[in-house]
């Protein structure tokens, strides 16, 4: 600030001098090292470690230059995006088209002779951007994207807010015809190679018509021996950030050595499929081609399709290697005891595996191999309808910068999220990297499971809050895969209804359920794991009259399983389902442990119990002619482990 003395001088001096002294010279700070604004902006960002040359294994500068590496990467991406009919990849250039960098270096898959208009244009590639960069892209270019008060990125998934299982198709060729599960009950709806290629071309042409595409190169499976390299090409920053969070993120070094992906997703979800294409029954198609190692998404922007599409792939690849793939959460106690949490959507895998007193290995997709368990993913996908800080503190705290919040509603000014608001959908979701959970176990692997917990959200209110299962009962309930589907995750489901989904994930399995069941039985036997059935649904009456079992009680039940105290409790046996139920558990009112006691109308309870028993029997009828593995005795026991009345 000018001193008083200066002013008095200025007052007595002439006009010219006065003007000079009124210009404010702030000499107090050190001046900036730039002559122009552009230069100043250039100074702001320094070269990223990820894109600067790194030292090789022996400490020497890697022989391949940065320019060559970039070139190889763009050539690989151009090859991914090549049209199969024009035999040429697009002209690719790295970075955001909004940034003018003089004349860009352009890479091309193969030289074009037969020039089409599309071959003349550039497609910019935004490869493995960081969350901050993806935030900027989303906010600048996707008008449904906003930063909410916790720092998470809220966005909309468009018209679809759940998966579309009826639009998921798998190419049937000679190999898959023999290997996969087809027909009644199977999630694999067939399509032929030609129709797949039509959809692939449609997706590739759509993606190449854009100014820019996002490319994620990432991994699946924390078991290094069985890791799969995946590439996801998408058109939205939302999709890229979602997969950044959900798949395993490569280190800069792993990214450099990434090479050719094992599997590629073409997500052209904003663009519909063509109903005139053979097999298409709507504008949506999610197409898996195992021979080509590709998946094409048309007509749905719901990001869960990518997550679960890759899970389907793992359900094919892993069993081929004698590894069991599981729709389950997984955590580990301080003493190394591992628990698996199976269950259909909304039954509590994420909620119950995220336990402040235990290490989280993963919330949704795992492999069980000779080495133990490993998470397939690098992130979690939590339901957030009615999420509360008190009941689910770790999930609440994970909703911060970097997290994708799908389809939530927030205050337009404060940007506070209202988690109770289901105006957009019941299936609101948060996708965050697993390390956002404070006690995540990184790397996400663990020893063989000690407890196998089957979660069912029973809308009939007749299954006990917890029962101890024999191996045969565990297999019976695993193959049945019962729950009352909670509204929202699968499109078109408005309120809870009884659902049977083999292996607690029939929508994702590729082989016949008995193949997975046989592997589970063998592993549980070999490693002495105990099976449990936990009802996270209704008590004291069916949906409508009863109420959902308090999460606090379910947590106490789960604690008693983990600690081993429940294994040695006193048990009685229930009617119809023949389930062993404990007489008491610390922290849980004993009157709810036997469901009959929680109902005021005994007759209504018995009718409902028989009704559910009938639904189980009816469903299991489809499995009566199958053998579970090579063990005839076990197969018989499993058949006898269902409801008896």
Ligand X SMILES: Nc1ncnc2c1ncn2[C@@H]1O[C@H](COP(=O)(O)OP(=O)(O)OP(=O)(O)O)[C@@H](O)[C@H]1O
Ligand Y SMILES: O=C([O-])CC(=O)C(=O)O
Q: Which residues bind ligand Y (CB under 6 A)?
A: 163, 304, 307-308, 345, 364, 381, 489
State the binding partner of 369 from ligand X, Ca ion, Mn ion, none, CB within 5 to 8 A by kind: none
> Which residues 6+ apart lie within 8 Å of 189 measured at CB?
166, 168, 169, 170, 279
State the binding partner of 450 from Mn ion, Ca ion, ligand Y, none, CB within 5 to 8 A by kind: none
Which CB, 215 or 417, lies closer to ligand X? 417
Nearest residue to 251 (alpha-carbon basis) of 128, 131, 367: 128
Q: Show the DSSP H helices in 232-332 as ranges.
A: 237-246, 252-256, 304-320
| Binding flag, residue 433, ligand X (CB under 6 A) | no
Helices 471-480/602-620 angle, 10° precision: 80
Instruction: Give the Cβ contact number of residue 232 at 10 Å.
Output: 27
Task: Give me the least distance between CB of 383 and ligand Y, in Å please.
Answer: 8
Which CB, 329 or 446, lies closer to ligand X? 329
Told to judge if 366 belongs to the known catalytic residues of this protein, a careful annotator would answer no
Told to judge if 163 belongs to the known catalytic residues of this protein, a careful annotator would answer yes
Cα separation of 305 and 293, whole Å? 16
Which CB, 317 or 344, lies closer to Ca ion? 344
Told to judge if 308 belongs to the known catalytic residues of this protein, a careful annotator would answer yes
Cα separation of 579 and 570, whole Å? 13
Told to judge if 327 belongs to the known catalytic residues of this protein, a careful annotator would answer yes
Told to judge if 292 belongs to the known catalytic residues of this protein, a careful annotator would answer no
| Binding flag, residue 350, Ca ion (CB under 5 A) | yes
State the binding partner of 641 from ligand X, Mn ion, ligand Y, none, CB within 5 to 8 A by kind: none
Q: What does the angle CA 621 – CA 624 – CA 630 come to, to the nearest 5 degrees?
A: 155
Contact mark string toward ligand X, 525..554, x via CB under 6 A? -----------x-----------xx-x--x
Task: Give me the least distance between CB of 165 and Mn ion, in Å please.
Answer: 13
| Binding flag, residue 347, ligand X (CB under 6 A) | yes
Cα separation of 288 and 581, whole Å? 43
> Which residues 6+ apart lie within 8 Å of 18 measured at CB?
10, 11
Cα separation of 174 and 182, whole Å? 13
567 token code pair: 């294994």
Please tell me which residue in 300, 345, 483, 554 is annotated as part of the active site.
345
Please tell me which residue in 429, 450, 523, 542 is annotated as part of the active site.
429
Please tell me which residue in 86, 94, 163, 249 is annotated as part of the active site.
163
Contact 284/272 with Cβ under 8 angstroms? yes
Q: How many CA atoms lie within 13 A of 205 on its CB side?
A: 15
Locate tokens 């979701």: which residue?
429
Cα separation of 352 and 536, whole Å? 10
| Binding flag, residue 345, ligand X (CB under 6 A) | yes
State the binding partner of 548 from Ca ion, ligand X, Mn ion, none, CB within 5 to 8 A by kind: ligand X
Which CB, 312 or 530, lies closer to Ca ion? 312
Which CB, 80 or 188, lies closer to ligand Y? 188
Locate tokens 């107090």: which residue?
28
Which CB, 89 or 187, lies closer to ligand Y? 187
Of the ranges 111-119, 306-314, 381-389, 603-611, which one interacts with Ca ion (CB under 5 A)? 381-389
Task: Give me the least distance between CB of 345 and Mn ion, in Å please.
Answer: 6
| Binding flag, residue 364, Mn ion (CB under 5 A) | yes
Active site residues: 163, 308, 327, 345, 349-350, 364, 429
The contact set with Mn ion (CB under 5 A) reads 364
């Amino acid at each position: 600030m000018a001193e008083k003395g200066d002013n008095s001088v200025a007052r007595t001096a002439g006009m010219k001098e006065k003007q000079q002294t009124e210009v404010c010279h702030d000499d107090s700070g050190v001046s900036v090292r730039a002559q122009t604004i552009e230069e100043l902006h250039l100074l702001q960002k320094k070269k990223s470690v990820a894109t600067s040359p790194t030292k090789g294994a022996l400490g020497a500068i890697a022989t391949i230059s940065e320019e060559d590496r970039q070139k190889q990467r763009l050539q690989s991406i151009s090859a991914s995006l090549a049209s199969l009919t024009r035999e040429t990849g697009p002209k690719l250039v790295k970075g955001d088209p909004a940034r003018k960098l003089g004349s860009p270096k352009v890479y091309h898959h193969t030289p074009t002779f037969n020039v089409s208009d599309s071959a003349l244009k550039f497609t910019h590639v935004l490869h493995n951007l960081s969350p901050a960069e993806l935030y900027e892209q989303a906010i600048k270019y996707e008008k449904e994207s906003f930063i909410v008060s916790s720092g998470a990125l809220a966005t909309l998934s468009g018209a679809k807010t759940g998966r579309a299982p009826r639009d998921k198709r798998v190419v049937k060729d000679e190999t898959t015809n023999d290997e996969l599960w087809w027909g009644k009950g199977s999630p694999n709806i067939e399509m032929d190679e030609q129709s797949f290629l039509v959809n692939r071309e449609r997706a590739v042409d759509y993606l190449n018509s854009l100014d820019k595409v996002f490319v994620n190169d990432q991994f699946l499976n924390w078991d290094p021996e069985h890791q799969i390299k995946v590439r996801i090409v998408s058109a939205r920053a939302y999709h890229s950030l979602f997969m950044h969070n959900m798949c395993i993120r490569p280190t800069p070094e792993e990214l450099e050595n990434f090479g050719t992906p094992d599997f590629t997703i073409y997500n052209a979800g904003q663009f519909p499929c063509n109903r005139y294409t053979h097999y298409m029954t709507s504008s949506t198609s999610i197409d898996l081609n195992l021979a080509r190692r590709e998946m094409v998404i048309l007509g749905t922007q719901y990001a869960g399709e990518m997550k679960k599409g890759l899970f389907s792939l793992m359900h094919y690849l892993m069993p081929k290697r004698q590894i069991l793939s599981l729709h389950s959460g997984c955590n580990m106690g301080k003493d190394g005891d591992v628990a698996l949490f199976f269950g259909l959507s909304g039954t509590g895998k994420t909620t119950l595996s995220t336990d402040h007193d235990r290490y989280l290995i993963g919330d949704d997709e795992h492999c069980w191999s000779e080495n133990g368990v490993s998470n397939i993913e690098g992130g979690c996908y939590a339901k957030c309808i009615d999420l509360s800080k008190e009941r689910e503190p770790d999930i609440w705290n994970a909703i911060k910068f970097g997290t994708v919040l799908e389809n939530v509603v927030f205050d337009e000014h404060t940007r506070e999220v209202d988690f109770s608001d289901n105006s957009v959908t019941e299936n609101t979701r948060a996708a965050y990297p697993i390390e956002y959970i404070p006690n995540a176990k990184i790397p996400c692997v663990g020893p063989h499971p000690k407890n196998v917990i089957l979660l069912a959200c029973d809308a009939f209110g007749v299954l006990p809050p917890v029962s101890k299962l024999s191996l045969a009962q565990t297999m019976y309930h695993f193959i049945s895969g019962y729950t009352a589907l909670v509204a929202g995750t699968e499109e078109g489901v408005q309120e809870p209804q009884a659902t049977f989904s083999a292996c607690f994930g029939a929508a994702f399995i590729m082989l016949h359920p008995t193949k997975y069941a046989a592997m589970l039985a063998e592993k549980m036997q070999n490693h002495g794991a105990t099976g449990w059935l936990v009802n996270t649904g209704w008590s004291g009456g069916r949906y409508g009259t009863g109420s959902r079992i308090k999460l606090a009680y379910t947590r106490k039940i789960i604690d008693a399983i983990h600690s081993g105290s429940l294994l040695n409790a006193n048990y009685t046996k229930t009617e119809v389902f023949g389930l062993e139920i404990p007489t008491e558990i610390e922290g849980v009112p004993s009157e709810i442990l036997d469901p009959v006691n929680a109902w005021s109308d005994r007759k209504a309870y018995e009718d409902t119990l028989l009704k559910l028993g009938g639904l189980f029997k009816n469903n299991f009828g489809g499995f009566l002619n199958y053998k579970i593995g090579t063990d005839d005795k076990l197969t018989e026991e499993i058949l006898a482990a269902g409801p008896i009345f």
